[in-house]
Structure 1
Amino acid sequence: MENKPRILVFIPAYRCAPQIGRVLSQFDDEVQKWVDTVMVVDNRSPDDTPDKAISSGRDQLDHCRFIVWENADNYGLGGSHKVAFQYAVQHGYDYLVVLHGDDQADIRDLLPFLKQGIHLENDCLLGARFMTDSKLEGYSAFRTFGNRVYNWLFSVVAFHRIYDLGSGLNVYRLDKFKEFYYKKFPDDLTFNYVMLLGSYNKGQKVRFFPITWRESDQVSNVRLFRQAFKVLQLLGKYFFMRGRFLKSDMRTVKHASYTGKIVFTTQKDEDRQ
């Protein structure tokens, strides 16, 4: 394990107080062997998500650094991704793992691929709910069908087989993301869709892997049919404009920067050198 790549696990969280403790409990000793830092990014939650994260992770994560970060503004899920990418690049990490804070995905599904070094061979290693060997728990047949249709549409337009447009568990090789080309990508839930199209457009190596996905007490902020129409519009623009579309500003609010502050940490950066 010496000279292993530095991995930051980014956990975006918004109104995840009931689930964030369960997410952090996934980081057993075996998982922590592979992780340098776990960073919960709270997107101005109106509940006590940050406090729950601190109380859950403070003592449990004793083999890696633990950070709770608060965004300066409500940047949306995409904006929180931008915060995490910037932080990871600026602090010299090699890989960014994204694990959503609502306890639908499980980071332990990633361990076999880390052990095999699959992440070393790809620029994007993306969890997929709809591959063979994936397991869906509590996910409706209607939403499964809709996702499979959209995966097929995006596959046709992107000229690549796509198994999931955005699950809650992804890995990115950061040397491909040092250039902040994704700053103008949407700050909302469609960020992942555009990010995937951008990766293919830039010729990045993308691989999907099966995951377990569950729905229990999570609260969705998505208006299903409005979101579906918005995604179709996005795909249509990419079909006709390709690279020009990816260079356009797709944000509703054009933030000059994506900032925030650390509200809790178990170790400072210099302690990890």
Structure 2
Amino acid sequence: MSFKSNVLIAIPAYNEEECIEGTVTELRSVAPEVDFIIVNDGSSDRTGEICKSLDCKVINMPINCGLTVGFQTAARYAVDHGYDYMIQFDADGQHRPEYLAALVEKAENTGSDIVIGSRFLTVRKDKSMRMVGSRMITVLIKMLTGRRISDPTSGFRLFNRSVLERYYYDNTLNPEPESIALFLKQGYSVSEVQVSMRDRQGGESYLNPVKSIQYMLRVFVTLLIVQWFR
């Protein structure tokens, strides 16, 4: 897999000892020419040790700083090292590296600033509570921006250099639906490509049922209140 552009894969990882080796091995097999860096977010398990044994490029955070700080750190690394694009890629095996090319090609062919790997561009969402929340976020973003984003909570996203530079200097931005809405309001181009994702390949997600509800509520509040005034 080779691209005309200079692409960095950013893999945030917190206590992913059960998944990280498989994720790295698959990524190296499917996309051996693509650079990647792991942001080890203060893991207390063997994540850092495994990354070292695999000879990965790693940014080791001294404590668990959370996804936003980890993403901003990766964005700064991408800008400092001259990458054209950075792709956010989960450590838990849900994201499939065979779709990396589709994200990059979409950005190169359309000039999109952000490309989202969507599970629901051509596939209907199920009727679970989580998907009800996703539908509500889609509706809110449409109300705010006039654009329909089919999978606003997808963490499989490409960002071009101009967006990465925004993350470099503005620490109020996060890699979440509310920032996607803000970029749309400010005239950035956001596209989607259809992908399929797997279940987590091991370990436990930090988003248990209670935290999932809290996450959705936070996104709703931010979209409904904060975004009106930014």
Classify 1:140/1:83 alpha carbon distance in 2 versus 1 (closer, same or farther; 3 Å). Answer: farther
Alignment-mate amino acid for residue 198 of structure 1: L
- Residue 214 of structure 1 corresponds to 198
- Residue 233 of structure 1 corresponds to 221
Distance 1:86 1:199 in 2: 18
Superposed structure 1 runs of 4+ greater than 3 Å apart: 179-182
- Residue 13 of structure 2 corresponds to 13
Based on CA coordinates, which of the two structures has the bigger radius of gyration? 1
Distance 1:3 1:23 in 2: 21
Between Structure 1 and Structure 2, which shows a larger proportion of helix residues? 2
Between 196-205 and 214-223, the greater mean CA deviation after superposition: 214-223
> Any conservation in 2 of the 1:106–1:169 contact (CA below 8 Å)?
no
Between 84-93 and 3-12, the greater mean CA deviation after superposition: 3-12
- Residue 43 of structure 1 corresponds to 41
Between 13-22 and 229-238, the greater mean CA deviation after superposition: 229-238
The Cα shift of 1:3 comes to 8.7
Classify 1:77/1:91 alpha carbon distance in 2 versus 1 (closer, same or farther; 3 Å). Answer: same
Between 71-80 and 175-184, the greater mean CA deviation after superposition: 175-184
The Cα shift of 1:184 comes to 1.7
The Cα shift of 1:28 comes to 4.2
| 1:57-68 matched pairs, under 5 angstroms | 57-58=54-55, 66-68=56-58
Match of 1:205 among 162, 183, 189: 189
Match of 1:149 among 130, 136, 143: 136
- Residue 166 of structure 1 corresponds to 153
Distance 2:103 2:154 in 1: 17
Unaligned 5+ residue runs, structure 2? none
> Any conservation in 2 of the 1:14–1:42 contact (CA below 8 Å)?
yes
1:76 matches 2:66: yes
Between 37-46 and 155-164, the greater mean CA deviation after superposition: 155-164
Aligned length: 223
Percent identity (aligned): 23
Unaligned 5+ residue runs, structure 1? 59-65, 244-273
The Cα shift of 1:153 comes to 2.1
Distance 2:6 2:75 in 1: 14
Classify 1:176/1:224 alpha carbon distance in 2 versus 1 (closer, same or farther; 3 Å). Answer: closer
Deviations 1:108-133 (A, max 9, x none): 1222444xx32212111111122215
Normalising to structure 2: TM-score of the pair? 0.86
- Residue 252 of structure 1 corresponds to none
Distance 2:191 2:6 in 1: 20
Distance 1:230 1:9 in 2: 27
Classify 1:220/1:8 alpha carbon distance in 2 versus 1 (closer, same or farther; 3 Å). Answer: same
Alignment-mate amino acid for residue 7 of structure 1: V
The Cα shift of 1:239 comes to 4.5
Classify 1:150/1:72 alpha carbon distance in 2 versus 1 (closer, same or farther; 3 Å). Answer: same
Classify 1:195/1:239 alpha carbon distance in 2 versus 1 (closer, same or farther; 3 Å). Answer: closer
